[in-house]
Structure 1
Amino acid sequence: MISPIRSMGPLAPARRNGSVAAQGETPQTPDQVTLSKGPNGPEGPDKPRPRGSVLGKIARAVGLTVGLSTIGLVGIGAVVPAVIQHPTVHIAPQNMTALQKHLSFFDQNHDGNLTRSETAQGLQKLGLSPVRSQVTGSLINAGIGVKSSDHWYDFTTVNLSKIHSSKHGSDTGIYDTQGHFVQSKYDELWSRFDQGNKGALSQSDIQAMHASLSTDKVGDVASKAEFDLLMELAGQNRTMADGSSQRVLTKERMQQFYDGSLFYQLAGETAPF
């Protein structure tokens, strides 16, 4: 009679700590065993992931998206204009609107088409670093070129004859819908926001102006970016009535900003108008 024990064959592998060691393998020690999760596992019910790790992944994803988008804009601005021909648009200085004069400084070859690389060159003349000039130039041209470019697939090249169509919300209104200078709006800006009649706009004055003129989020971002860059490029330090030193935009420089002569002056060049 065959023994019942022998008929069962080799003994089943030893079960230890919730895992089964296969034949020929060294049984796992407790610190090597992966504990099962779930309602019946040794650790009990699954625990939710810490909130911080999820937010961190989202932040990294957003940062990567913004970074890749910026790189893409720089790449598009560098490649597309090189293979696409734009008709030359000659606008005599005496026939330019104030808004066209405002941007004419950046039109390096005076063909009426403002490319991303030309904007970058102009910003570098005004004191920005080469890398920052490239990135900022791409963002500026992409922002205004969406409505004023000749081709949707070359939205970083701006046609200056269409620049008036790129006006955004939360604007001062100093340029009208055709790009002409509006003196009454300019005077209103100073009467409303030059606190203390000091003949200059401080950072707090400009913040109050943004809050008062706000009409939409996109316009808010565009307007703030424009004045932040203007303050950096053309702001001047002035001692205030309380003895503090603040960076301000003087009335003279603001007038030059809107009539188009400011960038030429800052770069040490003569305006052609």
Structure 2
Amino acid sequence: MTLYLQLVSTSLHAGSPRLALLHLRRSCEFNPRVSMSSYSPPPPPPRDQSMDTEAPNAPITRERRLNPDLQEQLPKPYLARALEAVDPSHPQGTKGRDPRGMSVLQQHAAFFDRNGDGVIYPWETFQGLRAIGCGLTVSFAFSILINLFLSYPTQPGWLPSPLLSIRIDNIHKGKHGSDSETYDTEGRFDPSKFDAVFSKYGRTHPNALTKDELSSMLQGNRNTYDFLGWLAAAGEWLLLYSLAKDKDGLLQRETVRGLFDGSLFERLEDDNNKKKSS
């Protein structure tokens, strides 16, 4: 533009106003060839990585995937539910079941409170295990181990129970480590943690676990040096697998969900009663 002004000034000094106007007109003309050739589109905005669930340098995050669409399948999946074990197929929990004001973990334990007084004694644990189909030896061994493990943490004070009783109102204090974390520390049900059991480990079937996948989950959930938690988790899940796997050797998602709120125990007891009566 400075060059054109100099030409105009020179032309005016030379006494040629028409020439000056010609130069000025050409300087204002739009040259599409020059303009288009010099145009470059703006760079694309950087990709938002804040929602990524896989890290390129952490292959384990690609191997154990999360469900990125869970919020579209279930309202507020990050919100732990106190009363109901919910998932996309059961957004209201187990249909027709009264939680009786208990947390999901309390509902799970209450099945073994055979007289409904809020306290579980070893013989009640034994009766509950027999009711769901466990043999005599397994029922006896597990009733001792379960009450031995859970009795003291659930007591209201410092004194232990001489009868190894478990208090249902304090059952959340007996939560062990190296688990799926589907129960939170207060006994609520966390839908996102429950869904992760199958999104991470259900590789053969999206809504079921094979025995090998169950073993992989137990190993993946282990906390360092938490040997007691390792044993407790293995005992619980392997017992569940032996009792509730289907004819194809799969542990179905609905079966596992029923474990958490105790509705599975009621179904197993009903099935066993029908077998005895037939």
Q: Does 1:237 align with 2:247?
A: yes
Does 2:221 match 1:213? yes
1:196 to 199, 204, 213: 204
CA–CA separation in structure 2 for the residues paired with 1:114 and 1:139: 13
Q: Let me know the Cα RMSD of the aligned residues.
A: 1.7
> Is residue 132 of structure 1 aligned with residue 138 of structure 2?
yes
Q: Greater shift after overlay, 112-121 or 133-142?
A: 133-142
Shift of 1:132: 3.2
Contact persistence 1:146–1:155 (CA under 8 A): no
Picking from 153, 174, 179, the partner of 1:171 is: 179
Q: 1:107 corresponds to which residue?
A: 113
One-letter amino acid matched to 1:264: E
- In 2, the alpha carbon distance for the partners of 1:213 and 1:99 equals 19
The aligned length equals 170
Partners of 1:175 and 1:154 in 2: CA distance: 28
Q: Relative to 1, partners in 2 of residues 1:108 and 1:153: Cα closer, same or farther, differing over 3 Å?
A: closer
TM-superposed CA distance for 1:259, in Å, is 2.0
TM-score (ref. length: structure 1): 0.59
Question: Helix, strand or coil: the match of 1:267?
Answer: helix
Establish whether residue 184 from structure 1 lines up as the match of residue 192 from structure 2: yes
Indicate the residue corresponding to 2:237 in structure 1.
Answer: 227
1:210 and 1:224 in contact (8 A); partners too: yes
Does 2:126 match 1:120? yes
Any unmatched runs of 5+ in structure 2? 1-97, 272-278
* Shift in CA distance, 252/162, structure 1 to aligned 2, threshold 3 Å: same
Structure 1 93/255 Cα, relative in aligned 2: closer, same or farther at 3 Å?
closer
- Within 1, Cα distance between the matches of 2:137 and 2:109? 21
In the TM superposition, what whole-angstrom CA distance separates every residue of 1:160-198 from its partner, at most 9, and x where no partner exists? 000000111101100001101000111111110101334
Q: Quick check: 2:155–2:161 contact (8 Å CA) kept in 1?
A: no
Q: Which amino acid aligns with 1:182?
A: D
One-letter code of the match for 1:205? E
Which of 254, 269, 272 pairs up with 2:256? 254
Q: Which ranges in structure 1 are unaligned for 5 or more consecutive residues?
A: 1-91, 239-246
- Counterpart selection for 2:104 from 62, 87, 98: 98
1:154 corresponds to 2:162: yes
Contact in 1 for aligned 2:201/2:213 (Cα 8 Å): yes
Report the AA paired with residue 270 of structure 2.
G
- Is the 1:214–1:220 contact (alpha carbons within 8 Å) kept by the matching residues of 2? yes
Greater radius of gyration (CA): 2
Separation in 1, partners of 2:259, 2:192: 16
- Could you report, residue by residue, the CA deviation over 1:138-169 in whole angstroms, capped at 9, with x for unpaired residues? 11111121311344143621000000001111
Amino acid in the other structure paired with 1:109: N
Residue equivalent to 1:9: none
CA distance in 1, matches of 2:235, 2:160: 24
State the one-letter code of the partner of 1:204: D
Tell me how far 1:106 sits from its aligned partner.
0.8
- The structure richer in strand per residue is 1
Instruction: Give the letter for the 2:169 counterpart.
Output: S
> Taking structure 1 as reference, are residues 131 and 187 closer, same or farther at Cα in structure 2, changes over 3 Å only?
closer
The 1-side partners of 2:185 and 2:205 are apart by 29
